Amino acid sequence: MTPAVSADGVSKDYGDTVALSDVSISVSSGEIFVLVGPNGAGKTTLVRALTGTIEPDEGLVSVLETPVNDTDPSRIGLLPQSFAPHDRLTASELLEYYAGLYDQSLAVSKVLSDVGLTAASETRYVNLSGGQKRRVCVGSALINDPEVLFLDEPTTGIDPVGRRSVWSLLDALSDNGATIVLTTHDMAEAATLGDRVALLDDGELVESGSPGSLIDQYGGDSVLRIETEETLSEAQIGQFEGDVEQSPSGLQIRNVQPDTIGQFVTQLNELEVRYGSITWTEPSLEDAYLQLTGNDSLGSATGYRKSSAYSDP
């Protein structure tokens, strides 16, 4: 199958700064492909190369089976990271304006509804909240009903409810055949939305795959953490199954399945060990990223991490 979006050996330098180094990706039709990494990783530069906004120093880029600069722009939607519409126009007027740039477009009322701005449709852009402004920007990228959608950090500044609304919208677009390439710092967003995730660091593609496969391969072990000030003897520790580590804050036991947590609670009570909280976590997409890159500058929520907590009554 011919990919909807592809980059083959793309490199881009800005003076002495290497923004991209021999990056290759292939995105299938209808796929949500997420680019993650810290500031300066090359995410925005790659989006610009994929949309023809910049010319790579090396490599080839194609969108919808044609070189990107020859692709019909009406088939593409783009939301840049920095986007400042006319702030004296209302949300409705802004989308009417962008709709007028195309021979065919979606109904403005539909797009306003899709991005959750029907109630604020007559509010001037300057008076919208930061999250509402970003949703107007998302709407501007959707107004032409694009086949391929490029979104550079689309949910920045949007509150949790609005963010999940945008996630649902993007899922629906993908289900209807749209191809979506987006960047994010939010690992939970990447894990939730991405059919595949590409991890970038210092302009290089470190690894790519489904969130689940990356976590399974690089995320590490699940961990049960038991908060206690007591020091257990080797004999006591030997009664716990698994890889047990003792520290001043308590115990850490690796590779614990959630359905066996109750057994550890029973053992603690039988040993008369006083404890505080008991927390179980499974590895996350951020854990996988840190394992692959050693980079701890993401500064975002972890993705794909589930936890359960217990406490001594």
Domain identity same for 114 and 58: yes
Segment 189-200, tens digit of pLDDT: 999 999 999 999
End-to-end CA distance of the chain: 58
Q: With beta carbons less than 8 A apart as the criterion, state whether 99 and 106 touch.
A: yes
Domain identity same for 44 and 113: yes
Segment 53-110, tens digit of pLDDT: 999 999 999 999 999 999 999 999 999 988 889 999 999 999 999 999 999 999 999 9
Please check the confidence at residue 306 and state whether its pLDDT lies above 60: no
Please check the confidence at residue 210 and state whether its pLDDT lies above 90: yes
Domain identity same for 152 and 277: no
* CATH code: domain of residue 237: 3.30.70
pLDDT of residue 20: 97
Domain identity same for 112 and 172: yes
Question: ∠ at Cα 37 (35, 43), nearest 5°?
Answer: 55
* Tally of domains within the chain: 2
Point out which residues pair with 252 in neighbouring strands.
225, 245
Mean pLDDT across the stretch 162-168?
89
Mean pLDDT across the stretch 115-140?
94
Which residues fall within 8 angstroms of residue 177, CB to CB, at 6 or more apart? 29, 30, 147
* b (16+ CB within 10 A) / e for 70-99: ebeeeebbbbbeeeebeeebbbbbbbeebb
Domain identity same for 241 and 212: no
Q: pLDDT-derived band of residue 297, with 50, 70 and 90 as boundaries?
A: low
pLDDT of residue 234: 86
Q: Domain end: 166, 194, 216, which one? A: 216
Please check the confidence at residue 122 and state whether its pLDDT lies above 80: yes
Domain identity same for 18 and 140: yes
Rounded Cα distance, 73 and 83, in Å:
18
Domain identity same for 146 and 273: no
In a domain, 293, yes or no: no
Domain identity same for 179 and 86: yes
135: Cα separation from own chain's centroid: 17
Q: CA torsion 300→35→213→28, rounded to 10°?
A: 150
Domain identity same for 65 and 107: yes
In a domain, 272, yes or no: yes
Which of these, 202, 210, 218, lies nearest to 288 by C-alpha position?
218
Strands lying side by side in the sheet with 58-63: 17-27, 5-14, 58-63, 66-67
In a domain, 311, yes or no: no
DSSP annotation of 256 reads: -
Please check the confidence at residue 303 and state whether its pLDDT lies above 60: no
Domain identity same for 143 and 241: no
In a domain, 244, yes or no: yes
Segment 99-109, tens digit of pLDDT: 999 999 999 99
Domain identity same for 191 and 245: no
Q: Could you tell me the residue range of the domain that residue 255 belongs to?
A: 221-282
In a domain, 151, yes or no: yes
Identify the weakest region by mean pLDDT among 20-34, 245-259, 263-277, 298-312: 298-312
In a domain, 93, yes or no: yes
Q: pLDDT-derived band of residue 184, with 50, 70 and 90 as boundaries?
A: very high
Rounded Cα distance, 177 and 175, in Å:
5
Q: With beta carbons less than 8 A apart as the criterion, state whether 25 and 5 touch.
A: yes
Instruction: Please give the mean pLDDT across all residues of the chain.
Output: 90
Please check the confidence at residue 243 and state whether its pLDDT lies above 50: yes
In a domain, 288, yes or no: no
In a domain, 302, yes or no: no
Rounded Cα distance, 21 and 306, in Å:
35
pLDDT of residue 137: 94
Domain identity same for 155 and 96: yes
Q: Domain end: 216, 240, 258, which one? A: 216
